[in-house]
Structure 1
Amino acid sequence: MLIHLFIVWTICIGFVRSTDICGLSSLIHRRLPSIHHSSFTFHLINGEGDAFNVTDTSILGGITVSCTTTSACARGLYTYLTQRAGVDIWWTGSRLDNLPLFLPRVGRTLSGKAIVPYRYYFNQVTFAYTTAFWSFDQWELLLDWLALRGVNLPLAWVGYEHILSEVLREVGLSDDEIYSFLSGPAFLPWNRFGNIQGSWGGRLPARWVEDQFTLQKQIIQRMVELGMTPVLPAFTGFVPPALASHFPDANIAVGSPWVTFPYPTTPVHYIPPSDPLFSTLQKMFISKQKAAFGDISNIYTLDRYNENSPTVTTAELRNISADTFASLRAADPQAIWLMSGWIFSSDRFFWQAENRVQTYLDAIPNDSVIILDFYAEANPQWSVYQNFYGKPWVWCELHDFGGNMGMEGNLQRLTTWPLDALNSSGSSMKGMGLTMEGQEGNEIIYDVVLDQAWSRESLNVSDYGKRWVERRYQNSRLPASVYEAWDILDEVIYNNQNLYTQATIKSILELTPKLDDPMDTNGHHPTFIPYDTNTTIVRSLCRLVQAGVEDRSLLNVPEFNYDLVDISRQLLVNRFVEAWSKLVSTYTSLSTDYNAVAAAAPPLHGIVRDLDTVLATNENFLLANWIRDARSWAGKNETYAAYLEYNARNQITLWGPNGEISDYGSRQWAGLVGDYYLRRWQNFTDYLVETKRDGVKYDSDYVKSRMIIIGQLWDSETFAGPWEVQGKTFEVVQMVLNKYA
């Protein structure tokens, strides 16, 4: 054992590079029991791609991972931990510390090789919907999760505003001109995209910018230690309006407005890449970034047309992409442009005309760009645009809009479509990845994508689900009822064939109350439930509760309790639809009076209260976490803390000062459900009773305005708790099952 420790120690002296393996030693010290800190030896070997072999070190014990890259080493370690030792790491926490006292032998060599060179992670807006207020402790868990699953190309988008501010100051802008342009902490990605500007909750404090820059340095260092290549920001061209007065000869244009946001939050000024000022600021930005982080990556993210309507001709597109790429290469001769394919699908009427995508891409050398096919599990663009005309691209699963928590997925599709794309004629696919807007629930869906990236054969969904749940519940001898519960989920809920509901199913409980049928809601938030609740959710929850009765040790497993709450949550929001339908049919009936409407309202309110109660039993479903994380960045500065809390509240409710995209970032969290959503539904049902009693016509605009006022009042409040879990999960879930099954 001592020799293993000596090997790791000698390797880990000196500067950390992406080809070092000392980061894996640190990961082992963070996650595994101390008795096993010296049980693992890593050897970097020559070979093509990302590949590993895991063997027994000797008959005396120990595990050896031989690998071609640090990322492959991490994946090899993960393969041993999951396939031999039966432990795993989850979004809910690491369970790797449950590694057995005596390590299981490897026996037959475990081998693996990535089928694609890139395994990508993050959507630009995940940095708002999920990680906006994270500390490094939270980042640390996710980065270990990523490394072990073999991710090697994560987006690193924290702290962009620090470098941008330095550049703008250097060219003459004042702090007032800079900070009046920057958005609030919960909305910064859309400021970087050029969708919005300014912060409607108050000006972004300089302290936030500096703290996030410090956090970014920690994140990037850890990514590199774990064998990842961070995708770094580049200068996008979106600038404060004041820049025009400092450079009167520059061609500074005004973009298109974004959705329903009013002036001055939109439109945003930008510098066309053809203007020399664009290249000048690009050089300054990338130079300062390299000085801050080191020369650790040559891959840069830069998207100009994210949900902004291009106002250029087809002929101009080639020059725009050529000039943009030239600015990157002038700043970094090895620069690779990572581009989001979302722009091609979100404004398909523009991009599908006149071969515009091909025109835009042709100006960039094939080996100098990577395109993310953002929504390939539902709306693939690679097949529309002929493998992006030979450019390297990454097959991505989006799945989650705005942090939506509905249970949904298609495991069969995720295990076949990427392989179909990879094996298609003329394929230029070079990666697989995850581009979820918010990282909430449905964890098996995300695991499947990253695991499929290491298998040329489609994963067997049935067998995969069985092994996955055994690791999740830390037991290879589970009651049969557990497997039955997950078979139902995997075969129906996670085999969604309904194209109308691909990627997200949102509950109407979270939407602004209305009398019109909310089950018709489409776009990013389809609300149609494509399965029978009684034969799926109810049956699955019954089996899982039965397992808890049969094996009480399961009640001590965090992930088992999480799943109990998650499935109960889905049951309740589905039942809410039934209660809402009864309310509406009662209200619209000419033969009923206001007393009947009043009697139909309490069942809705009761479901909302019961949902809040079950969510409150688990730490992963608390509004308190979101609020506490936001306020923690302010320390004892109450004014700053109130500003951060307002940002946190507004994102998950009105999403704008006046409900511009209300409910887009809605969540099912205890404290949000039992307070904000309950207020809205009580107000709505009271209004229905009033109109029926007084003979007043229903006014949908009036209802909407009332709901905006409720949102504005709620957003301005201060959270008073409870800050911790309330009640016992298993008892509350049994109550829910007995009441609603």
Structure 2
Amino acid sequence: MRIIHVFVLLLLGVAACAATPIKGLLERIDKGASRKFIIEQTNAPTDFFELDQKDDKVVVRGNNYVCIATGLNWYLKYYAGIHLSWNSMQAELPEVLPAVKQKERHETTMKYRYNFNYCTFSYTMAFWDWERWEKEIDWMALHGINLPLSIVGADCVWYYVLDKLGYTPKEINEFIAGPGFQAWWLMNNLEGWGGPNPDSWYKKQMALQQRIVKRMREYGIEPVFPGYSGMVPHNAKEKLGLNVSDPGLWCGYHRPAFLQPTDSRFQEIASLYYKEMNKLFGKANYYSMDPFHEGGSVAGVDLDAAGKSIMQAMKKNNPKSVWVAQAWQDNPRPKMIENLKSGDFIVLDLFAESRPQWGNPESTWYRKNGFGQHDWIFCMLLNYGGNVGLHGKMEHIINEYYNAKESRFGKTMKGIGLTMEGSENNPIMFELMTELPWRSQRFDKDQWLKSYTKTRYGKSNSAVEKAWRLLSNSIYNCPPASTQQGTHESVFCARPSEHPYQVSSWSEMNDYYHPNDVIRAASLMVSVAHQFKGNTNFEYDLVDIVRQAIAERGRLIEKVVEAAYASGDKVLYKEASNRFLNLILLQDKLLATRPEFKVGTWINRARDLGNTLEEKALYEWNARVQITTWGNRTAADKGGLRDYAHREWSGLLKDFYYMRWKTWFDYQTKLLNGEKPKAIDFYAIEEAWTKQTNAYSNQPEGDCIQTVKQIFAELF
């Protein structure tokens, strides 16, 4: 009987092992891969992973599934030469895995590894389905992420809340933003823009979030849900008799009202909100709240009382829960958080690589006492608006992480975070950032880079290593003091003017590197491209680096256009402007070889979510508007939002940016000829493209390597 009992227990153990999320992860990476590994979970006081060997199988052990997945990724990178990234989450593992000859262990005291900015959910994820989300959750686990923001389906919660407060469906949809703009609605910046949403949208988002949260919890990943911080519709005073304050305008849009914490119904509405959230998605242990985000007026608000009321409502829902807030500009307001208990509040130092608030006295957003008694997370913002372009502070991010950790503020530093506004770009920077917690000591950037390129492309190559060293010391070496908002923007995407430079209103960009370094790096990559044909990681990077080189050439040619116009040289003006326009078309052709750089990928994802032609049209309009005008005429021009989310993408270059530049060159040509043309209404011609429904392919066009070589030979 005892033998049978033991046998049953063993069978149950095998079944439990078979059902782990790690097996599912391995099988999605490569069918049959789970048979090649032994996965062991053991208790430990701090997060760790360990690589070991048992007979012909690789052993990966850790104290939880996320740590085990992180260890698995470490093995794939540094033993098997396999790099899983957004552009490729599958790989063919060797029949016999490379052996772990000596046990390797990594621990971290960084309890939290955070992911996402609110903006990421709109600039990148607005139209994702479960298939894409499943890959993202796997990517998170492999990279040690255990605390991601999770706001999909928040609109469903609000729909039920407002319905119970007496709002009609029409009124509710005048409050909830459309699919491409929900991030800024949830950050209390605007109402309704991009809507109204059809009923089917809410049903799909609810089902999607339930699958997302289920998979996260299987891994042991803690979702951070949007909590209740006082947001109510702008007409809540008239409709519900509430005591509210007006936070003012955001880029031309009216913000939602703020329910005063002293209002007798604050706790009632907060409880209703959490009740509906719990019913749909369960209770969370972490809630994200950012009242008065990005310039919201606090006039007439008792900030101390507001902080305590928000905390009280959250704790009533779940006494173990923690408030997570973004450190951005004046937020979180010191008066709001100074009397909150240690351990109940976590601050995301959102732009720590450029404008740290943790206590670095050299920062333009310096806080003398950091975040006081509260825990905080060292974050890298990196990307704004989902803009396309090489960019980063590679060496600085290494040094600044260890500087923060070793400072007097290191005691309350509890993790790292990826807080990009747009994702699916610059994979090297995200790889670097997610490795920091697992490296106990400072390390050499060049040595890390050498390992990265070998891992990324599956083999070493001296030309590739030299190319990346050039990039790491130039375009990926943005000065520490720079507050530039993301990539050095492509002039192709700029709204034309006499002296165009930055594309988006707040980029603050400067010429911090030599364009020729990028062009030389591109030349090196092109010279060995034939050796990596079919390698999707290499081909993605090759296209991206050559794209950057063409953008650099575009800036040089545009200067010639300016000079020709200033001198009145009609012949040179025509020649230079035609060369510039041809560069845009060549860039479009280059980017068409990869689906990641095609506007059709973005638009078709949006259309695929619609059930009817009307729904498809609404989602496509959201997709087109967000990456061009962003808002209505007031918000786009006076509010500064136009081109904020510009994308150097095939299809968009040819049909939108080319159109703007051709219109401008024709206008200036008339001026050179002594004519007096009517001033260009750029918004009118931009808006026209947002209303179109012409089809764009999401399939690659042309042979990547061949196309790159042809274009590069023609230009350089």
TM category (shorter chain) comes to over 0.9
Shift in Å, 1:570: 0.5
Distance of 1:333 and 1:457 partners within structure 2: 37
Match of 1:255 among 247, 271, 276: 247
**8 Å contact 1:195–1:308 — kept in the other structure?**
no
1:394–1:715: structure 2 CA closer, same or farther, 3 Å change rule? same
Shift in Å, 1:5: 11
Deviations 1:551-593 (A, max 9, x none): 2xx111011111111011101111111121111111122x53x
Distance of 2:86 and 2:23 partners within structure 1: 21
**8 Å contact 1:33–1:99 — kept in the other structure?**
no
Deviations 1:319-378 (A, max 9, x none): 121111112112222221001101427xxxxx8xxxxx4322212111100000000000
Match of 2:85 among 77, 82, 90: 90
For residues 189-588 of structure 1, the aligned pairs below 5 Å read: 189-199=183-193, 201-248=194-241, 250-261=242-253, 266-295=254-283, 297-312=284-299, 316-344=302-330, 357-383=333-359, 384-385=366-367, 386-427=369-410, 428-475=412-459, 478-497=460-479, 499=482, 501=484, 503-515=486-498, 517-519=499-501, 524-534=506-516, 536-549=517-530, 551=531, 554-588=532-566
For the pair 1:70 / 2:88, whether they are aligned, the reply is no
**8 Å contact 1:184–1:647 — kept in the other structure?**
yes
1:124–1:603: structure 2 CA closer, same or farther, 3 Å change rule? same
**8 Å contact 1:506–1:526 — kept in the other structure?**
no
Deviations 1:377-435 (A, max 9, x none): 00001112223112100000001010112211111111111111111114311110110
1:343–1:209: structure 2 CA closer, same or farther, 3 Å change rule? farther
1:359–1:489: structure 2 CA closer, same or farther, 3 Å change rule? same
**8 Å contact 1:405–1:440 — kept in the other structure?**
no
Distance of 1:202 and 1:227 partners within structure 2: 35
Helix, strand or coil: the match of 1:38?
A: helix
Give the aligned residue type for 2:311: F
Deviations 1:519-549 (A, max 9, x none): 3678632443322222x11211111111124
1:190–1:202: structure 2 CA closer, same or farther, 3 Å change rule? closer
Deviations 1:434-471 (A, max 9, x none): 10000142111111111011112123211211121112
Structure 1 gaps of 5+ residues are 14-20, 346-350, 352-356
Give the aligned residue type for 1:85: A
**8 Å contact 1:233–1:301 — kept in the other structure?**
yes
For residues 704-719 of structure 1, the aligned pairs below 5 Å read: 706-719=681-694
Deviations 1:61-89 (A, max 9, x none): 22323322222111122222222222121
Deviations 1:87-127 (A, max 9, x none): 121010124x3211001221211201123100000001100
For the pair 1:696 / 2:676, whether they are aligned, the reply is yes
Matching residue of 1:734: 709
Shift in Å, 1:596: 4.5
Distance of 2:465 and 2:422 partners within structure 1: 28
Distance of 1:4 and 1:556 partners within structure 2: 47
Distance of 2:618 and 2:86 partners within structure 1: 28
**8 Å contact 2:494–2:502 — kept in the other structure?**
no
Matching residue of 2:114: 120
Helix, strand or coil: the match of 1:51?
A: strand
Distance of 1:472 and 1:569 partners within structure 2: 19
Moved more, 440-449 or 719-728: 719-728
Give the aligned residue type for 2:309: D
1:291–1:522: structure 2 CA closer, same or farther, 3 Å change rule? closer
For residues 23-62 of structure 1, the aligned pairs below 5 Å read: 23-34=21-32, 36-57=33-54, 59=55, 61-62=56-57
**8 Å contact 2:606–2:620 — kept in the other structure?**
yes
Helix, strand or coil: the match of 1:338?
A: strand
For the pair 1:103 / 2:117, whether they are aligned, the reply is no
Give the aligned residue type for 2:41: L
Match of 1:156 among 141, 150, 157: 150
Give the aligned residue type for 2:545: I
Shift in Å, 1:7: 7.0
Matching residue of 1:18: none
Give the aligned residue type for 1:545: V
Give the aligned residue type for 1:135: D
Distance of 2:600 and 2:299 partners within structure 1: 46
**8 Å contact 1:4–1:41 — kept in the other structure?**
no
Match of 1:10 among 1, 12, 15: 15
Helix, strand or coil: the match of 1:93?
A: coil
**8 Å contact 1:395–1:429 — kept in the other structure?**
yes
Matching residue of 2:4: none
Helix, strand or coil: the match of 1:727?
A: coil
Moved more, 321-330 or 367-376: 321-330
Helix, strand or coil: the match of 2:45?
A: coil
Shift in Å, 1:729: 1.5
1:501–1:246: structure 2 CA closer, same or farther, 3 Å change rule? closer
Distance of 1:288 and 1:456 partners within structure 2: 43
1:520–1:101: structure 2 CA closer, same or farther, 3 Å change rule? closer
Helix, strand or coil: the match of 1:726?
A: coil
Matching residue of 2:583: 607
Deviations 1:250-307 (A, max 9, x none): 203322101234xxxx132231233232221221222222222234x21000111111
Sequence identity (%): 28
Deviations 1:628-684 (A, max 9, x none): 00000113x111101110000000000002224100000011000111000000001
Distance of 1:501 and 1:526 partners within structure 2: 5
Match of 2:124 among 98, 121, 130: 130
Structure 2 gaps of 5+ residues are 1-6, 360-365
Give the aligned residue type for 1:259: C
Matching residue of 1:16: none
Distance of 2:600 and 2:13 partners within structure 1: 41
TM-score calculated relative to the size of structure 1: 0.90
1:76–1:600: structure 2 CA closer, same or farther, 3 Å change rule? closer
Distance of 1:539 and 1:642 partners within structure 2: 43
Matching residue of 1:685: 665
Matching residue of 2:362: none
Helix, strand or coil: the match of 2:354?
A: coil
Distance of 1:362 and 1:431 partners within structure 2: 21
**8 Å contact 2:384–2:485 — kept in the other structure?**
no
Deviations 1:455-503 (A, max 9, x none): 121232112111211121122xx33212121121122222222725463
1:715–1:520: structure 2 CA closer, same or farther, 3 Å change rule? closer
Distance of 2:416 and 2:13 partners within structure 1: 31
TM-score calculated relative to the size of structure 2: 0.93
1:5–1:305: structure 2 CA closer, same or farther, 3 Å change rule? farther
**8 Å contact 2:174–2:195 — kept in the other structure?**
no
Query: Aligned pair count?
Result: 696
Match of 2:76 among 74, 81, 101: 81
Distance of 1:125 and 1:486 partners within structure 2: 29
Helix, strand or coil: the match of 1:583?
A: helix
Shift in Å, 1:23: 1.3
**8 Å contact 1:173–1:242 — kept in the other structure?**
no
1:392–1:259: structure 2 CA closer, same or farther, 3 Å change rule? same
> C-alpha root-mean-square deviation of aligned residues, in Å?
2.2
**8 Å contact 1:627–1:719 — kept in the other structure?**
no
